[in-house]
Amino acid sequence: MNKCFKTLSGPVAILLATLCATPGLASQDERGGAENESHASGSDHHSGNPSDDSQGHSDGKTALAATLGGTVQAGASGRVKLRQQTRATRFEAELRIPLPADALAIPDRAAAETATLSLTLSHADGTAYAECDFDLTKTKRNKRSGLVKAEYKIQISLRRGVLQERFGLCDTDLSTEGAQQGVPAVQAGDSATVTTDTNGAAFLQGAF
């Protein structure tokens, strides 16, 4: 008779002794619990950090900008920028010129409206590859100072193969006869120069 029931006697003692002697019956719940813990820890092992998968992926965007400055005309300033995404490319330029602009032979609003201001883009080796013309968008007088500024813009975009010219226009291939209108293929290291037809002055420059 099993010693764990040695204090019992009769048929009941024999039955209980048989159950006690059967291996594993009393420990099945314990083994099941250990097995569940093993599966849970295995699940943790296979769950990687989701942020690791996203590292190194590019968002497909390119942005280049050039701040334009110079000493020819005091108060004149400008900025050019290119933003390229997967489905669209946008090229923008903006100028602000105080009036009168004596160094540019633009004395007033009427002269600002008829003047042609051009933006020439060149590669790092000095080769000009694109030329754009600005549109005068507005002239604005500061109420406090009384100073007047003329604002010129270029806004051109290419979206899904469709060219949109909101302000100004660009000839993107100066080596080909006639205007090849489009968005300039600006690269890092390129330069930008602004000139006016009123006296031929190159009065603003900048680099991307």
Q: What is the mean pLDDT of the chain?
A: 80
Top-confidence residue, 141 or 13: 141
In this predicted structure, what is the pLDDT of residue 35? 43
Q: In what order do the strands lie in the sheet with 169-171?
A: 169-171, 128-133, 117-122, 191-196, 202-207
Burial of 190 (0-12, 13-18, 19+ CB in 10 A): buried
Identify the pLDDT of residue 24.
47
Residue 32 has a pLDDT of 45
Q: Determine, yes or no, domain membership for 1.
A: no
Cβ neighbours around 120 below 10 Å, total: 17
pLDDT in tens, 42-77: 434 333 333 333 333 345 688 999 999 999 999 999
Q: How many domains does the chain have?
A: 2
Asked if residue 76 and residue 126 are part of one domain, the reply reads yes
Residue type, 72: V
Query: What does the CA dihedral 125, 96, 93, 199 come to, rounded to 10 degrees?
Result: -50
Helices (H), ranges, the chain: 11-21, 28-46, 50-54, 109-114
Please list the residues that pair with 130 across neighbouring strands.
121
Tell me the pLDDT tens digit for each residue of 160-177.
889 999 999 999 989 888
Q: What is the DSSP annotation of 128-158?
A: EEEEEE-EEEEEEE-TTT--EEEEEEEEEEE
* Full residue range of the structural domain in which residue 95 is found: 62-207
Are 14 and 69 within one domain?
A: no
Residues 34 and 95 in one domain: no
Instruction: Check: CB of residue 99 under 8 Å from CB of residue 113.
Output: no
Same domain, 168 and 102: yes
C-alpha distances in Å from residue 118, one per residue of 5, 100, 133, 202: 107, 19, 5, 9
Q: What is the pLDDT of residue 87?
A: 87
Q: Kindly state whether residue 153 falls inside one of the protein's structural domains.
A: yes
